[in-house]
Chains A and B, each alone.
Chain A
């Protein structure tokens, strides 16, 4: 009988790897390979079994890997740039041409005339960073999802741009209150969301702050929906209540924040010993009430938290006094008008956070993409520092990134480059806005779709380039502007037994080869090595991937990797736990902060010229009701992350396209009705910067005035136009001042929507 249990047989093996996409989840995967084909993907055992999980994105890898959009051969443009006409060429011809042009530009105009962009998802050993350094080239850096990190780094001390995580996910059940703030792990970090569910079942109160009724919000005990971009005001309102009602943990604030530090009334700078004594140190100063005199930081047994004083003729005041005065303007009634959250709810939320803890705040990138977004997390850090909700189990503040917050260990640089090999950086937000010396662009991934706002303004820049190369696995938006397209293998494909190695979630994982490179594609590392060799840098690319992985593991100076050898890693199947405690990792458990004072910074003296030494609610930004564009472009336009993609990765998995067939504009039913738009209608979404044409779906999960197209669809998936032509490229002055670059405020965007009068494409 031909029943469902009949085996068809076939030799197969299982290869182990870890996801490389920029969700950060890094699921460990067991990939079944039969007859050389990837036929099945499942979660593989993690050294910490609580992390054994895979999401739908990983499960659909076979379709992604074998997708019809795969770039199969090197291509060379024929005809004008942007007309999508290409011819097949050999690798030798493509790389030969590219190397010749790069060498010519390098000789005539210097390395900075060559710009590199790079992407997540490529091999750690093939991200072109080595080649761009050897060429002393320009690197286009940054993009979105940096501002929340900048704010936390400013307040709590720099530990890397993307390392400002909340406590490890497994710590959530230790919290009594979790504020899930602008974060939607139920739709972005599905394998981490269970820790919130587990916490909730154990009694933790889950508060979700999101203007939209997300899949995370539907699981909340309390859903708080402020107006888009008003999160700083909401936080300042909570701080007002906490200060006014005496809910501040004064001992904690005195010992671990800059609350008792003195600030000069005349300059707004911190008072330093050198201000008072010729040859004095740069020590910060506090007021010692017992001696009625100033003392350097930490020398007074109990410095004054509040008060204004005169020291050597200089009027000074404590940071905490200044903060309390600053907060007076953010009473709950005023904040209710800004945010739309009632004064009673603001008060209740403040009390809950301050008194029912330990409390954790986990931010997501929903709050990140507004022009002043760094102030959201600066304000959140002040919440934590004034209530002692940091540095202990269940208490922390940070970004709840997917894989973050666990014990970390650094891998060694397997082949250090000479000191002269060093490129320069240009923030992506400046490309198209500032004159640049760039004449060639080497794109790894889909830069135009994912890393630049208002991308129509780059048409001139792109048109004038002498060479554009795109290296990717799939046909996508940046390919269309390229002279050469080089097909990269996905991270599942390799020529060698090993692809690379990574540290994630308290563990070291090896990425084994799963299948051979498909068609003529080559792993990124092979492409980089070949191109570098043609440019005369072959001596820096002598090691195999396996040798690199071994050197990265065994050269590590991290104590948590002591004694961990490559041989042991291989023998263990490619996954070993770091030498780390069993208890969940707690950020800042030593309460030492990498700030100038070593304290959590409530006050940022460098921002006095901008009036942002404390976080403020800025009245006018594009998404705000005070924007001059409210009449012309009444709808705030966001592009949230979704389940089926990590940014644009996996945009083409057929199973997920069967569920969510293509881009849609979601908007409140009343906003749709006012424009005569019904479900399935084709609409044009437009503003002064650009336009895109999609199908519309009225959705009451969005409040009136907010609409959304999820991020990561490629240009070819839209009816017309480009999603990123709409987005706001305005930099943040504070971010530029403190960090030398600005986040891109993708969500700080207004649009209008109308039924599209043009030819309607087929229904989705």
Chain B
């Protein structure tokens, strides 16, 4: 059975947010909300490292709905607005959503955002982006759809197409012949918070370069 998923190779991620901006444009996500974000793993502020110069450690981690095999959001929704397609994509029926937001804490991956009627970004109007993407009414939750409207046309999600360094592989991770499944099977591939049992379809190849890197410079030689 098909199980669409993503493998993100963090050794290729440069933290540029092209994925997230392509997502926001494609899906006309309201300003200030993100269906996809690029987390800085390191320091407390965006783009800063942890540790002390020069023993720094920093990596970037794109994150979005993991379209889990066992999505904890589905049983958490009192109006049964969240459902999973046969290909594994987890979607929200916006008409059925009552805005209670019980899904937000139920999700281990911070995938859901609540649209309280946030304006779109300056320069973006309802209906911009992909024509197939439905504008959401205020008062519902929303999240990454794996760009289901593109998937149904045989296209990769907008973030995958936009990434300039080829971080994200997308496809059927249940098909052992697929590129995405081969990457997911690489040594070191991890899923976030596996102990929670959601079985996410978002797999990371962790950032490894920092630990292997030689460093030479004036503050420590």
- Chain A residues within 8 Å of B, Cβ to Cβ: 1-10, 12, 34, 37, 39-43, 53-56, 59-60, 62-68, 186-187, 190-191, 193-194, 197, 211, 213, 215-216, 218-227, 336, 339-342, 345, 349, 643, 654-656, 658-660, 668-669, 679, 697-704
Q: Hey, which chain A residues are within 8 Å of B202, CB to CB?
A: none
The one of B16, B26, B133 in contact with A56, judged by C-beta atoms closer than 8 angstroms, is B16
A331 to chain B, nearest CB (A): 16
Given contacts A2-B93, A55-B164, A219-B209, contact A654 B31 (CB under 8 A): yes
Q: How large is the interface on B (under 10, 10 to 19, 20 to 34, 35 or more residues)?
A: 35 or more
A1 to B214: give the CA distance in the assembly, Å: 56
Tell me the chain B residues, 30-77 only, with Cβ under 8 Å from chain A: 31-32, 43-54, 56, 58-60
Cross-chain pairs A/B with CB under 8 angstroms, 24 sampled: A3-B91, A4-B134, A5-B132, A7-B149, A8-B127, A8-B132, A12-B131, A42-B22, A56-B18, A66-B123, A190-B16, A211-B218, A213-B56, A218-B213, A219-B14, A219-B209, A221-B214, A222-B214, A225-B219, A655-B24, A669-B52, A700-B51, A701-B49, A701-B56
Q: Hey, which chain B residues are within 8 Å of A7, CB to CB?
A: 131-132, 149
Whether the Cβ atoms of B14 and A193 lie closer than 8 Å is yes
The one of A68, A186, A187, A701 in contact with B48, judged by C-beta atoms closer than 8 angstroms, is A701
Given contacts A5-B152, A213-B58, A697-B48, contact A227 B164 (CB under 8 A): no
A10 to B127: give the CA distance in the assembly, Å: 9
Q: Hey, which chain A residues are within 8 Å of B91, CB to CB?
A: 3-4
- Beyond A4-B91, A186-B16: 6 further Cβ-contacts under 8 Å? A41-B25, A194-B12, A223-B214, A339-B218, A341-B217, A655-B25
Give 10 closest A-B pairs by Cβ, nearest first.
A340-B218, A225-B217, A66-B123, A345-B216, A63-B123, A342-B221, A654-B121, A186-B14, A39-B128, A222-B214
Per-residue CB proximity of B189-221 to A under 8 Å, as 1/0?
000000000000000000001101111111101
A9 to B145: give the CA distance in the assembly, Å: 19
Given contacts A226-B218, A643-B17, A654-B122, contact A197 B49 (CB under 8 A): no
Interface centre among B15, B44, B121 (most CB of A within 10 A): B121
A215 to B20: give the CA distance in the assembly, Å: 18
Given contacts A68-B122, A226-B218, contact A40 B25 (CB under 8 A): yes
The one of A5, A53, A218, A703 in contact with B219, judged by C-beta atoms closer than 8 angstroms, is A703
Whether the Cβ atoms of A4 and B123 lie closer than 8 Å is no
Given contacts A67-B123, A658-B31, A702-B53, contact A59 B18 (CB under 8 A): yes
Q: Does B94 contact A (CB under 8 A)?
A: yes
Q: Hey, which chain A residues are within 8 Å of B213, CB to CB?
A: 218, 220-223
Interface centre among A5, A7, A12, A336 (most CB of B within 10 A): A5
A438 to chain B, nearest CB (A): 37
Q: Does B148 contact A (CB under 8 A)?
A: yes
Q: Does B185 contact A (CB under 8 A)?
A: no
Q: Does B174 contact A (CB under 8 A)?
A: no
Chain A residue at smallest Cβ distance from B27: A4
Whether the Cβ atoms of A660 and B221 lie closer than 8 Å is no
A213 to B46: give the CA distance in the assembly, Å: 14
A498 to B176: give the CA distance in the assembly, Å: 48
Whether the Cβ atoms of B148 and A700 lie closer than 8 Å is no
A215 to B221: give the CA distance in the assembly, Å: 22
Q: Hey, which chain B residues are within 8 Å of A703, CB to CB?
A: 53-54, 217-219
Whether the Cβ atoms of B56 and A700 lie closer than 8 Å is yes
Q: Hey, which chain A residues are within 8 Å of B133, CB to CB?
A: 4, 8
The one of A37, A67, A226, A659 in contact with B217, judged by C-beta atoms closer than 8 angstroms, is A226
Q: Does B162 contact A (CB under 8 A)?
A: yes
The one of A40, A220, A341, A701 in contact with B128, judged by C-beta atoms closer than 8 angstroms, is A40
Whether the Cβ atoms of B43 and A699 lie closer than 8 Å is yes
Q: Hey, which chain B residues are within 8 Å of A211, CB to CB?
A: 217-218
Q: Hey, which chain A residues are within 8 Å of B214, CB to CB?
A: 221-223
Given contacts A4-B149, A5-B148, contact A190 B164 (CB under 8 A): yes
Q: Hey, which chain B residues are within 8 Å of A8, CB to CB?
A: 127, 131-135
A672 to B161: give the CA distance in the assembly, Å: 40
Given contacts A2-B93, A10-B131, contact A704 B123 (CB under 8 A): no
Q: Does B139 contact A (CB under 8 A)?
A: no
B88 to chain A, nearest CB (A): 15
B138 to chain A, nearest CB (A): 14
A659 to B39: give the CA distance in the assembly, Å: 11
The one of A34, A56, A223 in contact with B21, judged by C-beta atoms closer than 8 angstroms, is A56
A173 to chain B, nearest CB (A): 14
Whether the Cβ atoms of A340 and B31 lie closer than 8 Å is no
Interface centre among A63, A186, A194 (most CB of B within 10 A): A63
Q: Hey, which chain B residues are within 8 Å of A660, CB to CB?
A: 46
Q: Does B92 contact A (CB under 8 A)?
A: yes
Q: Hey, which chain A residues are within 8 Å of B166, CB to CB?
A: 194, 197
The one of A43, A67, A190, A225 in contact with B14, judged by C-beta atoms closer than 8 angstroms, is A190
Whether the Cβ atoms of A697 and B45 lie closer than 8 Å is yes
A698 to B45: give the CA distance in the assembly, Å: 9
A55 to B22: give the CA distance in the assembly, Å: 10
The one of B44, B59, B217 in contact with A679, judged by C-beta atoms closer than 8 angstroms, is B44
